[in-house]
Amino acid sequence: KDEQIVAEIMRRRFFPALITHKAWEGFHFAGHEIRITEATDCYGAVVWPSALVLCYVLETNSKQYNLVDKNVIEIGAGTGLVSIVASLLGALVTATDLPEVLGNLRHNVLRNTKLKCKHQPRVKELSWGIDLEKNFPRSSCHFDYIMAADVVYHHPFLDELLLTFDHLCHNDTVILWAMKFRLDKENQFVERFQTLFDLEVISNFPSLNITLYKAMRKGRMKV
């Protein structure tokens, strides 16, 4: 079953029939053809399989995770695929990432959502752990969903990532987090994450080594 679902997820990706001066990949989600411009010089400008998994689950479980008019933030949005799909599904999305990838992120989001979405998504800088209250004050920034795809990998900012999850998450916020396991650091981060959040496995994709989690602040997981 895992291999069948993974094959279906990967069929959502397509490539241009003709090579052009600008590299892009195509995807079919939420009834739309989505074209994503990538760059090979930055991890944040590439579409990773975890993003496809999260997009597929959002689309195929739209009743369980109804995004219409929901306030959604994606951290580590990268190329913007997850933010674009969430927008096409009716959410009010804030796509965030580091300054160096915002130009490409903004291009992809605008190209694929303009005049197609109920709410035009926003693109905003977010450096994990830095100026969180200044840029995302808890009193006025209330997110129904936090989304993250492949944000945990071999980098020195895992403390800051956990701090960012903690700051953005209110008692009724749902975290949807797709993660590819590569090194022991991923397992260690999950253990630390569980000190603050109740964690539930939504789906497992062993052939991709990807797990999709749902999380809420400790003690607040809804049945």
Average pLDDT over residues 193-206: 94
83: containing domain: 1-217
Number of structural domains found in the chain: 1
Q: Percent of the chain having pLDDT more than 90?
A: 78
Q: For residues 146 and 217, what is the distance between their CA atoms, to the nearest angstrom?
A: 12
pLDDT mean across residues, the chain: 91
pLDDT tens, residue by residue, 116-140: 999 999 999 999 999 999 999 999 9
- Nearest residue to 27 (alpha-carbon basis) of 59, 1, 61, 71: 59
Contact present, 25 and 45 (Cβ < 8 Å): no
Task: Report how far apart the first and last C-alpha atoms of the chain are (Å, whole number).
Answer: 25
**Residue 223: pLDDT band with limits 50, 70, 90:** very low
- For the ranges 35-49, 128-142, 168-182, which has the lowest average pLDDT? 35-49
DSSP three-state, residue 51: helix
Q: Does residue 56 form part of some domain?
A: yes
pLDDT of residue 205: 94
Predicted TM-score of the model (pTM): 0.92
Q: Does residue 222 form part of some domain?
A: no
Q: For residues 50 and 48, what is the distance between their CA atoms, to the nearest angstrom?
A: 6
Q: Does residue 106 form part of some domain?
A: yes
pLDDT of residue 175: 98
C-alpha distances (whole Å) from 54 to each of 96, 99, 204 are 17, 24, 12
pLDDT tens, residue by residue, 202-213: 999 999 999 999
pLDDT tens, residue by residue, 90-122: 999 999 999 999 999 999 999 999 999 999 999
Task: Give the CATH number, domain containing residue 24.
Answer: 3.40.50.150
